[in-house]
Structure 1
Amino acid sequence: MKTQIEQNGIVTLTPEVANGLSGSDMWNDDLRPTTMKEHSWKGMNFATLWIGMCLCIPSYTMASGLISLGMNWWQAIGTIFLGNVIVLIPILLNSHAGTKFGIPYPVFARLWFGSKGAHIPALARAIVAAGWFGINTWIGTGAIDTLLSASFPAWRNLSGHTAIIFALFWGLNVVVAYKGPQAMKVLGLIATPIVGIASIILLIWAYTNAGGWGPILDTPSKFTTTGAFLKVFFPALTGVIAFWATLALNIPDFCRYAKSQKSQMLAQSFSLPLTMSIFSFIGIAVTSATVVIFGTALWDPVQLLSKFPPYIIFLGTLIIVIASLTINVGANIVAPARAIENLNPKRITFGLGALITGIFAILMQPWYIMENFGNYIFGWLGTYGALLGPIDGIAIADYWLVRKRQMALNELYDVNGRYSYTSGFNKNGVYALIIGVAIPVLGLFIPGLRFLWDNAWTFGLFISIIAYTYLMRGDKSVLKPGEYEKITSFKTSTPDNKPDAVTGKETEFFY
């Protein structure tokens, strides 16, 4: 029986199968596979998505953290560029699955952890995203608080004024998040030119008023030997990789709407590493100029903003708020809200998942994480990189090496399907995750193996790829040769309007 249709490399369920699955406890309108018409995102949408998410304050200040650790400006930019090129690889590999089968991250995780086991990687991603949600909300709070304090002196004397702003801005983020990933298509188109133009204006202002770039770009590296540099470089590189390791996992949440593999791959390949590197350089150059202009290095753009007249503070605050909203909705709310929703698709809505994410973000104490760069790079980025690297490895190994990009899409939504494994858990995925996390952790306790922890994301990824591929050899969940062709109808593009089997609305299907 044909259960799915493949057209131009994109797989959708047949209308009959989609109707039959709509009553499943593992199905709802957010978690179902996308229809052919919903594959509408072009390359421009992915470019603006990434540019909008990269143009945020953590990206601006990332290089400053590396310089504070002893690097010069080009070593910091080189580390950032290399880290983003490396993390781009798993992003593109997992993007392929989302584009081809139109599934969100929690459903993709069912493939390699089982229908119940999928909660493990989904919630692991959710915890990290909630932390980032808190960080960006805290940054936006600082900007708004600066505006009010500069414009209204009485505001500075109001007890708990920062907490009030945090609560209000937190609420704004949660409300915007209700629209889900499709909102990013619009938000990205708005935020990208606004934040991009503002960054260029800031760079021009810094150069003009400082009469050049300032002393930071002339400051040499503090490392006198290659060994001393590498001791800082590798954990810093892991931190840079971990910055977007979250999106490397749940990128299917966005690529499930891609029009084609080519459009999403090209757009992401250029927009991510280039935007991160350029924006980090702007942060370094502007900060270098502040040494000349103000007599001290102002790495935090919120502190820099406070030096300007009120109307400039107002405009700058709006830009920071837009940037914080863009990255929070795109990178930090969609994934955890979907993970929470996946716990009980018939009772938990995406909106409720977004609210729970927001509450958990407060419990993560973002003000502590951002207290100093040691907490940020070594504590926050390094630790969760050690967790997410093995999960990335398992996802890549399962889709590319074990299943070779073939699956029975309908069985991801069947409680008794092949991807439920034993009692809903794929023990091989659990074992591979434990191995991928445990080996790098040894570096924390054995001095001679410290390099494992300093490169935890990379080692965890490759260890889990090897472990999972070995453990899954001959697994019954893998389609046998020729089985994919038996369940798949290969079609050409001939428009035929008929009611959408999933939504019940008049939709253009292609047969």
Structure 2
Amino acid sequence: MQTWIGGEGIFLLAGKLFGESWRTAGEFGGYPWTQWLSFLLFWLIEMAIIARGMEALRRFENWAAPFVIVGALALLVWITVKAGGLGPLLDQPSRLGWGGGFWKVFFPALMGMIGFWSTLSLNIPDFTRFGGSQRAQIRGQALGLPTTMTLFAFLSVLVTSGSEAVYGAPVWDPIQLAATMENPVGILFALLTVLVATLSVNIAANVVSPAYDLANLLPRFVTFRTGALITGVVGIVILPWRLISDPHVYIFTWLGVVGGLLGTVGGVLIADYWALRRTRLRLAELYRPGGAYWYAAGWNWRAVTALLVGGVLAVGGSYSTVDADGAKQGPFPADGLIPVLKPLADYGWAVGLTAAAVVYVGLSGVFGRGSGEAGEG
């Protein structure tokens, strides 16, 4: 989906350069063939960067991060000037207020955003293992993630509010907002910023982890680069243009389900490492078949059971909303897959994490932790 967004940026950028004929080219599959070409080009750029390895990615991220921050601040300055000052950006009223209508939207959206970032919460060791010390990786995360995410959330709200003040309707998509600019230099800079931002986030968050997973799953046949290529192909096969076309499907279905399932994984990991083992592990045994953590033929049935229970509770109630005309928005039944679990669906990530952790600790307390109980350190 991020690659489709990046391709859209190239499509609009090229449209500003090549004129109306680029944007109105013959359609294929519901989109101009030039947009498909832009999508493919962005995909190839991503694959070219990741194919050069983690060191090339580190160098790219080092200059991309400050560039994107500068670009976002420049976008805020532009919309502020266009709106006539900060006042119009700050006085846009809430359409939902603080009543029941707000909370019905807030919690599913919150769970969707947590689900969006829960990938990095699980695969952050793919990056922190390159840190020089434990203090270095803690400092990097503490300074880098909360500060930048808070800043970008603040900038996003202000810029979107400013777009409503200027255009009469909120434009939340930065690509679409950049396309409204009249100055060619400003347009190019804004769209370049969006492209760099999408590249840096997408590769780090969505390509590195599965590439390592595939390489570790079949190390004799799959390298890190091959794993990245397989990931890129899978990213096309899931038809991202269809997933992102409807916000109901994207936020409430896709992110809700994925976030709920990833929450169960996080719950088991947290319970095992922090609650039961108190951060003490026999490191070498983690990599030995038949070793202390081999459990039952390589399977920890307590963890698998906790994943299943947490997963069912987290996503079993997934449902599709119904619009004013009675049309269902999404692939699930309006009453939920398992109707009795529907009230839990809006809190999928939190439900999955909590349920999996509780079940895993409970099973471990009753049946023991299995392998690796003694001598950990």
Q: TM-score range by the shorter chain?
A: 0.7 to 0.9
Give the Å deviation of 1:180. 3.8
Give the Å deviation of 1:295. 4.4
Aligned with residue 122 of structure 2, among 249, 271, 275: 249
Give the Å deviation of 1:428. 1.5
Q: Is 1:401 aligned with 2:268?
A: no
- Structure 1 residues 214, 360: CA separation in 2 closer, same or farther (over 3 Å shift)? farther
The one-letter code of the counterpart of 2:6 is G
Aligned with residue 466 of structure 1, among 330, 348, 358: 358
What CA distance in whole angstroms lies between the structure 2 residues aligned with 1:305 and 1:457?
A: 33
C-alpha contact 1:440 1:459 (8 A) present in aligned 2: yes
1:342 matched to which residue of 2? 216
- Structure 1 residues 142, 383: CA separation in 2 closer, same or farther (over 3 Å shift)? same
Aligned with residue 165 of structure 1, among 38, 61, 67: 38
What CA distance in whole angstroms lies between the structure 2 residues aligned with 1:353 and 1:454?
A: 33
Equivalenced residue count is 349
More off after superposition, 142-151 vs 304-313: 304-313
Give the Å deviation of 1:163. 0.8
C-alpha contact 1:194 1:319 (8 A) present in aligned 2: yes
- CA deviations on 1:72-100 (whole Å, 9 max, x unpaired) are xxxxxxxxxxxxxxxxxxxxxxxxxxxxx
C-alpha contact 1:181 1:254 (8 A) present in aligned 2: no
What CA distance in whole angstroms lies between the structure 2 residues aligned with 1:180 and 1:226?
A: 49
Scaled by the length of structure 1, the TM-score of the pair is 0.64
Query: Which runs of structure 2 are paired with 1:96-107 in the superposition (5 Å)?
Result: none
1:478 matched to which residue of 2? 372
- Structure 1 residues 462, 182: CA separation in 2 closer, same or farther (over 3 Å shift)? farther
Aligned with residue 154 of structure 2, among 281, 287, 296: 281
Q: Secondary structure at the match of 1:418?
A: coil
Structure 1: which 4+ aligned runs deviate by more than 4 Å? Answer: 446-449
Give the Å deviation of 1:174. 1.2
Aligned with residue 388 of structure 1, among 235, 256, 262: 262
The alignment yields a C-alpha RMSD, in angstroms, of 2.2
Give the Å deviation of 1:162. 0.8
C-alpha contact 1:394 1:432 (8 A) present in aligned 2: yes
C-alpha contact 1:385 1:456 (8 A) present in aligned 2: yes
The one-letter code of the counterpart of 1:155 is W
The one-letter code of the counterpart of 2:164 is V
C-alpha contact 1:180 1:334 (8 A) present in aligned 2: no
1:69 matched to which residue of 2? none
Aligned with residue 177 of structure 2, among 300, 304, 312: 304
C-alpha contact 1:215 1:291 (8 A) present in aligned 2: no
1:362 matched to which residue of 2? 236
The answer to which structure, 1 or 2, has the higher relative contact order (CA under 8 A, 6+ apart) is 1
1:155 matched to which residue of 2? 22
1:223 matched to which residue of 2? 96
Aligned with residue 82 of structure 2, among 193, 209, 212: 209
What CA distance in whole angstroms lies between the structure 1 residues aligned with 2:110 and 2:77?
A: 30
Give the Å deviation of 1:350. 0.8
What CA distance in whole angstroms lies between the structure 2 residues aligned with 1:216 and 1:196?
A: 19
Query: Which runs of structure 2 are paired with 1:4-403 in the superposition (5 Å)?
Result: 135-153=1-19, 154-159=21-26, 160-213=33-86, 215=88, 217-223=90-96, 226-308=99-181, 309-403=183-277
The one-letter code of the counterpart of 2:362 is Y
- CA deviations on 1:40-60 (whole Å, 9 max, x unpaired) are xxxxxxxxxxxxxxxxxxxxx
Give the Å deviation of 1:280. 2.2
C-alpha contact 2:212 2:224 (8 A) present in aligned 1: yes
What CA distance in whole angstroms lies between the structure 1 residues aligned with 2:166 and 2:108?
A: 33
More off after superposition, 254-263 vs 460-469: 254-263
- CA deviations on 1:16-39 (whole Å, 9 max, x unpaired) are xxxxxxxxxxxxxxxxxxxxxxxx
The one-letter code of the counterpart of 1:450 is K
Give the Å deviation of 1:225. 6.0
Q: Secondary structure at the match of 2:217?
A: coil
Q: Where in structure 1 are there 5+ consecutive unaligned residues?
A: 1-134, 486-511
C-alpha contact 2:160 2:172 (8 A) present in aligned 1: yes
C-alpha contact 2:260 2:311 (8 A) present in aligned 1: yes
More off after superposition, 197-206 vs 416-425: 416-425
The one-letter code of the counterpart of 2:217 is L
Q: Secondary structure at the match of 1:223?
A: coil
C-alpha contact 1:181 1:253 (8 A) present in aligned 2: no
- CA deviations on 1:437-459 (whole Å, 9 max, x unpaired) are 11233434465643311111111
Give the Å deviation of 1:148. 1.1
- Structure 1 residues 297, 236: CA separation in 2 closer, same or farther (over 3 Å shift)? closer
Name the % identity: 40
What CA distance in whole angstroms lies between the structure 2 residues aligned with 1:431 and 1:175?
A: 40
What CA distance in whole angstroms lies between the structure 1 residues aligned with 2:109 and 2:249?
A: 12
More off after superposition, 312-321 vs 373-382: 312-321
C-alpha contact 2:50 2:57 (8 A) present in aligned 1: no
The one-letter code of the counterpart of 1:386 is G
- Structure 1 residues 467, 182: CA separation in 2 closer, same or farther (over 3 Å shift)? farther
- Structure 1 residues 299, 257: CA separation in 2 closer, same or farther (over 3 Å shift)? same
- Structure 1 residues 185, 394: CA separation in 2 closer, same or farther (over 3 Å shift)? same
- Structure 1 residues 204, 437: CA separation in 2 closer, same or farther (over 3 Å shift)? same
Aligned with residue 347 of structure 2, among 427, 432, 455: 455
- CA deviations on 1:200-222 (whole Å, 9 max, x unpaired) are 11111211221124656433333
What CA distance in whole angstroms lies between the structure 1 residues aligned with 2:97 and 2:82?
A: 33
